[in-house]
Amino acid sequence: MKNTYTENLIATVIDYSESNNWESAVTEWEIYDCEEDESNSETCICGKENIRYLYTIRNILNGNELFPIGSSCIKKFNRTDFNEEISLTESMFKLLHAVEDNRYISLSSDLFSRKLLKWLYEQEAFDTQYNNFDGDEDYEFMLKMFNKRDKSSITINQDKKIKAILLNSIKPFLLEKLSCKIREPYMYF
């Protein structure tokens, strides 16, 4: 049985699609952008309130856009590519906040994944002045450290290198890429 939110989502997507059935309509869309609303004050196109990640999806056939749409609704499209993009995008925001908050960061699966490291590499996040704009070695090092089963075997020097890469390569990249995509909570005085 479908709930009201799901019915609203389906009706809205079909209204803005070329197709008039859900199974075909979901193939017409791509994720175009994402913002983070730290105050959770926005409402999804389905009517669900208090969403944090505000996605914009665009219809590739007619150019229509839908905003804001939450990740729960995007998952209802049942598309592997969307699910992977949601996971990657939300991981980037979480990692950025951890770095900004000066939290102790280890290469564990709570903040990292092989896909995230690969995406950072493909986006040239590792290519910085810090390493003469050659991030191959830093990417391979981070991947090797992430793949270690026993994280306690990471040496002090390896840990220092991880921190240096995070601070000199990844943090500036994420700040540049995401800082304009974060809506901070309003402060009322």
Together in a domain, 176 and 89: yes
Q: What share of the chain is helix, strand, coil (3-state, %, to 5)?
A: 50, 15, 35
User: Which residues, in sequence order, are CB contacts of 158 under 8 Å at separation 6+?
Assistant: 145
46-93 pLDDT, tens digit each: 999 999 999 999 999 999 999 999 999 999 999 999 999 999 999 999
Together in a domain, 35 and 90: no
Q: Can you give the residue range of the structural domain that contains 17?
A: 4-78
Adjacent-strand bridge partners of 59: 29
Together in a domain, 116 and 166: yes
Asked if the structure places residue 104 within a domain, the reply is yes
Backbone angles phi, psi at 85, to 5 degrees: -70, -40
Q: Which of 78, 106, 126 is the last residue of a domain?
A: 78
Together in a domain, 27 and 91: no
Together in a domain, 66 and 119: no
Q: Which of 78, 113, 144 is the last residue of a domain?
A: 78
Together in a domain, 90 and 176: yes
- Number of domains, the chain: 2
Together in a domain, 158 and 131: yes
Cα separation, 59 vs 77, whole angstroms: 13
Together in a domain, 97 and 66: no
Together in a domain, 72 and 89: no
Asked if the structure places residue 188 within a domain, the reply is no
Q: What is the mean pLDDT of the chain?
A: 91
Cβ neighbour number for residue 182 with a 10 Å cutoff: 14
User: How many residues are recorded in the chain?
Assistant: 189
Asked if the structure places residue 22 within a domain, the reply is yes
Contact 46, 8 (CB under 8 A): yes
Cα separation, 51 vs 136, whole angstroms: 37
pLDDT of residue 183: 77
Asked if the structure places residue 189 within a domain, the reply is no
Together in a domain, 109 and 153: yes
Q: Which residues of the chain have pLDDT under 70?
A: 1-2, 185-189
- Torsional class of 102: left (φ above 0), alpha (ψ -120 to 50), beta (otherwise): left
pLDDT of residue 34: 95
Together in a domain, 73 and 89: no
Together in a domain, 61 and 123: no
Q: Which of 28, 50, 78 is the last residue of a domain?
A: 78
pLDDT of residue 42: 94
